[in-house]
Amino acid sequence: MEIKELQDKMYKAGVLPVIAIESPDQALPLADALIEGGLPVAEITFRTAAAADVIKLLKKERPQLFLGAGTILSVENLVKAHELGALFGVSPGLNPAICQKAQELGFPFFPGVATPSEIEQGLSFGTKILKFFPAEASGGTAMIKAASAPYAHLGVRFIPTGGVSMKNLEEYLSLKEVLVVGGTWIAKKDMIAEGRWEDIRKAAADAVAVVKKLRG
């Protein structure tokens, strides 16, 4: 997928559910809850041993899902995500070795940043879409506006994650610098473990309503 198409899909989605899932058995009902809620997108994180199997299963059984891989902390994670067919990768920080490998693979990869120096390091790898993490603890929307100003003419966009919720979703999405927000609140680990698919569907639908209000 071309980066422009990927960027357009992220902007339209508005919210990227960040998901830590413990068992492949939970993958399909989770995906269906997101799809039914109008949010057919997911970032499956490598925080659990099941991540690779979940990505593989969803890629095969729910191809309509806009599927990425998160918490990529090693080159091995990155290569595995790419091999399994994830459309993009995300990490909480910026590891030059991972960024370099992503470049070699031609795999869209969004490293985490929290300072201007890290933004510039990301730009040195040709990456203009960057995760802003941890968003709230790093100054929230005020920090995004201040830190992004010197780079706006370069088309830098952010994926703020960490402390984003329904309470401040509109505040983040109102910023032109924000491409999409990442959040665990759509499908928390306990919601998945307890099979609360209706709660996940509703959380997705509520988020979609805010996105539509702001982005049409």
* Position 216 in a domain: no
From the candidates 43, 80, 177, 188, give the one annotated as an active-site residue. Answer: 43
Catalytic residue list contains 131: yes
From the candidates 80, 101, 131, 188, give the one annotated as an active-site residue. Answer: 131
For β-strands 109-110 and 112-113, DSSP reports them as: unpaired
* Position 215 in a domain: no
**Pairwise CA distance, residues 33 & 46, whole Å:** 21
Number of domains in the chain: 1
**Pairwise CA distance, residues 21 & 192, whole Å:** 7
Asked if the peptide bond before residue 17 counts as cis, ω within 30 degrees of 0, the response is no
Please report which confidence band the pLDDT of residue 1 belongs to, taking 50, 70 and 90 as the band edges.
Answer: confident
The 10s digit of each residue's pLDDT in 91-115 is: 999 999 999 999 999 999 999 999 9
Domain that residue 175 falls in: 3-210
Catalytic residue list contains 43: yes
Contacts with 47 (C-beta within 8 Å, 6 or more apart), sequence order: 20, 71
Instruction: Please return the burial class of 174, using the count of CB atoms within 10 Å of its CB with bins 0-12, 13-18 and 19+.
Output: exposed
The 10s digit of each residue's pLDDT in 149-193 is: 999 999 999 999 999 999 999 999 999 999 999 999 999 999 999
* Position 151 in a domain: yes
Q: Can you give the CATH number for the domain in which 54 is found?
A: 3.20.20.70
